[in-house]
Chains A and B, each alone.
Chain A
């Protein structure tokens, strides 16, 4: 009895108000919002850096920035987008949605949840501050290869500590997510009844715990090489710089799947809703996701085919890499089969999800081309690689985040977003993202190297097209910000179900989702 009065007192909202509420909150919805807003800000910061890069590359020659600053921009753009925009966006979605989707009242470890988020802003202050330090921000590429990265100025230890903090935040977040999913599912929700978004996040969280500490180890070794006289990666002292590449990519390749598995989960939620059919091949989706996660640990050296590797090694890494296409293909075909004879409607989240399926697959195919050793030796470090990973990360991962935001926004705010503006946002983004990245395939095949501020004149036209696409894509995202602001402020009232035939526990609570939900577990 006392328990229920206690719950009733707290029912409507947070204790504290204003800034203090956000600093001290342990509520999964508040923390999810913090993560999402943070990642949106970082997305705009990283996007501004990309626009500096594309402005300089609009024509050959050096016009706007000096080459050292250009290199800082390519490095920082990648670090900000990966660790600041994409990963926090997925963690934010996990925070909002996982408790709602498994019928839990909150995350399992709410205080740790608060910490996981509040480590991020100081970590990014450290990282952004390096731009203003003597010697500038890191300029050796986000892969931090020694010996080049060891030539970073005063900023070097700040970069390393900032990455340590980001890693710690991700690991804490991952532990929280695994404990929540494992121990706090509503009665009756077995593992094989979990929504796909929850499944993919469970697997992603295990990848995070396996991969992030390895990055922490690698950058710690960089730190001791520079300041404490160790020679892990210094050839003069008997170390090997290529070993860094092995350790880095042992983290780096699982990281690639950390950035895409939650996207697969999101798409697997959205396509069934707007096809008005259950997801085709649920079990095979789960198995395929696990297979991708497993394979991600045994393919790392495909990033290093040009370092000189025995033929047997190249064959192994080539074949294991191409093998990833099998489970990924299973997923693509399952989505297509879900669409087959569905009663499809094209609301904004569905449009982004469909664009994801097509454009991510283009990125997947260029990945297969890069997996081939003889081809890769030609494509290595060219714009073809840039085109490839931007296809999987922008119209892949980022589109999935945008789709997820449109899909769940009415549940979070209680208002419907402006569908017309949402469609404008979709079409502008989709057209410009292709104008931006498709010509980069041709540039790469014509052997334009990546990470350079200047280029030969024969590459001019495609670079101009690409830069125009970049500004078009970047400016379209301001429309997205406007749609978000408008929807938070008001709009048509959303029903609890929001969509016609959505599936899952999150649609059983009212919109906007009350501050506290599922204090008594639902029955599944």
Chain B
């Protein structure tokens, strides 16, 4: 079938646009991460060890400032896991290192590996939390029925905006994907 030249060009352009938009949907996945990084809501860095930001001037740190840090623990599979924070909340002075523990128990009768995803709220606190030790940095193997304490050591940077008086560290524990 022979199409008029104008039609053929237009069909190819429009078809190409449709294919391009299909590809664009997949491109949105990496773009999403880039966007989160640029806007400082990048939670990927919460899964890696980082040193606390060097205080601009140690003398300027308010040693009396206290920030309440709350801990949340979730698991989408409560039949397979018991997962709770050791402390519901602690008080932390920005600039000083703090530590807490979470309790996790494998409820199934075989060895499994857990993986935990961290999150911090409010969003503007995300870039002011640095973790030196966290069970969320790597997968944790559990023997059948094993119960364990999992440690987090972290620092809230002194340049946390002054109006933020509560920071929530939340962890979601999954059974690692098979394979």
Contact = CB atoms under 8 A, between A and B. Distances in A.
Interface of A: 108-109, 111, 147, 171, 174-175, 178-179, 182-183, 209-218, 220-221, 229, 231-232, 234-238, 240, 243, 246-247, 250, 308-310
B177 A214 contact: no
A206 to B, nearest CB: 9
B25 A229 contact: no
Contacts of B14: 174-175, 178-179, 209
Contacts of A216: 22, 25
- Interface on chain B toward A: helix, strand, loop, or mixed SS? helix
Contact of A175 (B11, B24, B124): B11
Given A182-B10, A209-B21, A247-B25, A175 B174 contact: no
A215 B1 CA distance: 32
A216 B17 CA distance: 14
A523 to B, nearest CB: 21
B179 interface: yes
Which of the four size classes fits the interface of chain B? Answer: 35 or more
Given A216-B22, A231-B177, 17 more contacts: A174-B14, A175-B11, A179-B11, A182-B6, A209-B18, A213-B22, A213-B24, A214-B25, A218-B25, A221-B29, A235-B117, A235-B174, A236-B117, A236-B174, A246-B28, A247-B25, A310-B39
A308 B21 contact: no
Nearest to B22: A213
Contacts of A235: 117, 172, 174
A175 B28 CA distance: 24
Interface in B141-179: 172, 174-177, 179
Interface string B96-108: 0000000000000
B123 A237 contact: no
Given A235-B117, A308-B123, A217 B25 contact: yes
B79 interface: no
A183 B6 contact: yes
Contacts, number: 92
Interface in B5-33: 6-7, 10-11, 14-15, 17-26, 28-29, 32
Interface string B63-75: 0000000000000
A183 B10 contact: yes
Interface of B: 1, 4, 6-7, 10-11, 14-15, 17-26, 28-29, 32, 39, 41, 76, 115, 117, 121, 123-124, 172, 174-177, 179
B179 A229 contact: yes
A281 B14 CA distance: 30
**Residue among B32, B115, B176 having the largest count of chain A Cβ atoms under 10 Å:** B32
B9 to A, nearest CB: 10
Contacts of B22: 213-214, 216-217
B176 to A, nearest CB: 7
B29 A243 contact: yes
B25 A213 contact: yes
Nearest to B178: A229
Given A147-B76, A229-B179, A210 B17 contact: yes
A213 B21 contact: yes
B84 to A, nearest CB: 19
Contacts of A211: 21
A220 B177 CA distance: 20
A125 B124 CA distance: 49
